[in-house]
Amino acid sequence: MRMTRRLRAAMYVVVAGAMLVAGAGTAYAAPGVTPAEVTLDLAPGGSTTIAKTVSTPAIPPKPDITFLIDTTGSMGGVISNVQTNANTILSNVASAQPDAQFAVAEYRDMSDATSFRVAQNLTADQTDVTNGLNSLVASGGGDFPEDGINGLFQVASGAVDFRPNSSRMVLLIGDAPSHDPSNGHTLADAISALQAADVTVLAFDLSGLDSTGQATSITDATGGRLFSGIDSSEVSDTILAALHNMPVAVTHKLRDCDPNLSVSLTPGSRTVTSGDDATFTETVSVGAEAVPGSTLTCKVDFLLNGVLSPGFTETISEHVPKATPSIATTPSGSVPAGGNVSDTATLSDGYHPTGTVKFELFEPGDTDCATPIATRTGTVTDSGTAASGDVTIGAAGTYRWSATYSGDAHNNAVTSPCSAEQVTVTPQRLTGRAYGLTADASLAGIQLVDIAPTPDTGDISTTSTGATSVPCTATLSGLISAHALCAKVATTEFPGKSVATASIDDTTIGITGIPVISVKTINSSSTTTCAGSTGATTIAFLKVGNTVVIAEPTKIQPNTTVNVGVVKLVLNEQIPFTTPDKGLTVNAVHVTVNALGLAKTNVVLASAESDIGNCP
């Protein structure tokens, strides 16, 4: 049997024989390839092996079957058996292979008027085939050898119109050997013609066909079989058995394969008896350059005697897994409360990532990153980076960013760990001071009045919310008298704010040599935030000597100056400062006297100072 021709298309010639290997009722596996659909998820550079089973049909595919029968006088019983069972033979074959076609030819002796005739050329019409068989009549034959070699030569040389890529079989049925040469053609000529046409001969010997070894030579040379020792009543059954036990060469061919998908099978071919399974080991490899997220496909056609039939194509679908990039993030550095924070993400080890990165910011108490307080989305650039942009932060503490890459057609989504992106927000420094009254007066080097700030909160400095107040001073007496002197500093952590307030009732300044100053219900306040400072003063009544400056409760404009004789008063005195932090001092009343011969006087009533540091 020549495997090179079997890979193209097998042609079979059937000759009468004896041994029944498998009958028409034998059960076979459903023809086809298993598994027919293969789905893989190999990474670039990966490979796997798959066991393939090709279940061949009971009868080889696309069969072209020619009955070549000796119709000399001794063959009457054989011809009658074939004619009687023709429908059974034809139906059985057509049931297994619906595209089967048949031809009928006869040969006699060289001395007969017609030594070879095609009674019916290839056709799928079973009625025509039956009519062709029924047209055969046993007669003639002048001596023991007949003209079978010529009949084989004629069939192989074009007398029968075999279809391209068909499984070609000739059933040679006879009871005597052939002349050699036969009608001018030798045994070698017939074998060469059969081989050239890829024909396989099945020989059915009814007592003398192989008496000189011709049938053995022919079947061996064409990959066929010789059935001997049968009588005329067994011919039809033997034909059916022979058609169900033909050699089938199974090969494979790739098509429509992605260049990044490599498929190979071993061995290159297997030859089995029709109806049996041929097994192969299939190796599938994915190229290192395969695009993550893509689907690679390849089809493998399994050919039976060079013929592709429905059900014998395997489809391989390889879903290349998406790349899983790593994500590295860089949060902004420490910022003051109320400042701006941001985050950047860099993707690496992916496949040209595109898409977006969702940035989520979590407050200090949310250590598990459960509920974001801000969400921003950045587009991934060609360099694989994305930025959140600025987010205005709230109170001080340790905040956490989380960055989630959206993924794309080639890359999986990925999220940075919650603890990986911490940003520290520092609080504002909140400071302030408030007191009710301070006074200093001296004359000719003699200290007349020396009152330290009373009551006094002292310098307050904190980063948290709170309030500092001192007990109000009920009464001061002496050259300067006052009632209900109070001072307080209140702070708010966020938004950072410092508020200082001071108040006094019924103050009298009676220093020798200067007009008596009377003030009632004084309130001052100084408020500072990162946005700036404001101050306010209200005075219910102010009189200098006999001059009434304020007769009813009044909100005083900043830095209002009043001069009465030698007395200078600055009302709602506002003094901004920037060292060490920005802030504002508010003195409700600032009295000064600096005249020759008079007591040098410096009195501050209701002083409030607030400031703030570490602003964004």
24's tokens:
């028409």
Which residues, in sequence order, are CB contacts of 127 under 8 Å at separation 6+?
A: none
Q: Residue 121 — φ and ψ, nearest 5°?
A: -75, 175
* Boundary-marking domain end, from 256, 289, 319: 319
Rounded (5°) CA angle 544-545-549: 35
* Boundary-marking domain end, from 228, 247, 266: 247
Same domain as 359, residue 268: no
CA–CA distance, 459 with 76 (Å, rounded to integer): 136
Burial of 459 (0-12, 13-18, 19+ CB in 10 A): exposed
CA–CA distance, 250 with 268 (Å, rounded to integer): 9
Residue type, 414: V
- Say what the alpha-carbon torsion angle 41, 43, 44, 45 is, to the nearest 10 degrees: -110
In sequence order, the β-bridge partners of residue 37 are 315
First to last CA, the chain: 93
| Integer CA distances (angstroms), 588 to 180, 311, 572, in order | 144, 102, 5
pLDDT at residue number 97: 87
Q: Three-state secondary structure along 148-206?
A: HHHHHHHHHHHHCCCCCCCEEEEEEEECCCECCCECCECHHHHHHHHHHCCCEEEEEEC
- Say what the alpha-carbon torsion angle 40, 44, 49, 54 is, to the nearest 10 degrees: 50
Same domain as 408, residue 434: no
Asked if 436 and 606 touch (Cβ cutoff 8 Å), the reply is yes
CATH (domain of 271): 2.60.40.10
Same domain as 70, residue 51: no
CA–CA distance, 423 with 343 (Å, rounded to integer): 9
Q: Residue 504 — φ and ψ, nearest 5°?
A: -145, 145
pLDDT at residue number 240: 86
| Residue range(s) defining the domain that contains residue 49 | 32-58+248-319
Q: Which residue has the tokens 């000529």?
A: 189
pLDDT at residue number 142: 72
Burial of 30 (0-12, 13-18, 19+ CB in 10 A): exposed
CATH (domain of 237): 3.40.50.410
Same domain as 391, residue 508: no
Neighbour count for residue 452 (Cβ, 10 Å) = 10
Walking along the chain (616 residues) 10 residues at a time, the average pLDDT comes out as 32 34 46 96 97 93 95 93 94 89 96 92 97 94 89 97 93 95 96 96 94 96 92 88 86 97 97 93 97 97 91 97 95 94 96 97 93 97 96 93 96 91 94 97 93 96 95 94 97 96 96 93 97 97 96 98 95 94 96 92 97 95
HSE (side-chain half, CA atoms, 13 Å) at 471 = 3
Host H or E run for residue 87:
helix 86-96
Asked if 200 and 246 touch (Cβ cutoff 8 Å), the reply is yes
pLDDT at residue number 7: 30
| Integer CA distances (angstroms), 572 to 295, 486, 534, 569, 591, in order | 80, 17, 11, 10, 11
Same domain as 111, residue 232: yes
Neighbour count for residue 377 (Cβ, 10 Å) = 13
Neighbour count for residue 217 (Cβ, 10 Å) = 17
Alpha helix locations (H) across 17-85?
A: 76-84
Give the closest residue to 263 by CA, choosing from 323, 313, 322, 321.
Answer: 313
Residue type, 278: A
Asked if 218 and 17 touch (Cβ cutoff 8 Å), the reply is no
Same domain as 582, residue 448: yes
Asked if 402 and 360 touch (Cβ cutoff 8 Å), the reply is yes
Do the bridges between strand 200-205 and strand 12-14 make them parallel or antiparallel, or are there none, so unpaired?
parallel
CA–CA distance, 67 with 14 (Å, rounded to integer): 7
In sequence order, the β-bridge partners of residue 511 are none
- Based on the structure, what is the number of domains in the chain? 4
* Boundary-marking domain end, from 426, 450, 484: 426
Which residues, in sequence order, are CB contacts of 144 under 8 Å at separation 6+?
A: 176, 177, 208
Residue 364 Cα to chain centre, angstroms: 34
Do the bridges between strand 532-544 and strand 517-529 make them parallel or antiparallel, or are there none, so unpaired?
antiparallel
CA–CA distance, 349 with 565 (Å, rounded to integer): 85
Residues in the chain: 616
Asked if 68 and 155 touch (Cβ cutoff 8 Å), the reply is yes
Rounded (5°) CA angle 119-121-124: 120
Residue 554 Cα to chain centre, angstroms: 74
CA–CA distance, 558 with 535 (Å, rounded to integer): 8
Same domain as 609, residue 470: yes
Same domain as 443, residue 399: no
DSSP state of 275: T
Same domain as 135, residue 66: yes
Handedness of CA 37, 42, 44, 48 (dihedral sign): negative
Asked if 608 and 502 touch (Cβ cutoff 8 Å), the reply is yes
pLDDT at residue number 96: 82
175's tokens:
């009871």
Question: Is-cis flag, bond preceding 495, omega within 30?
Answer: yes
259's tokens:
């260049």
Same domain as 239, residue 292: no
Find the radius of gyration of the CA atoms of the chain: 57
Burial of 594 (0-12, 13-18, 19+ CB in 10 A): exposed
Q: Which residue has the tokens 């061949």?
A: 56
Asked if 283 and 311 touch (Cβ cutoff 8 Å), the reply is no
Same domain as 95, residue 47: no
Same domain as 139, residue 64: yes
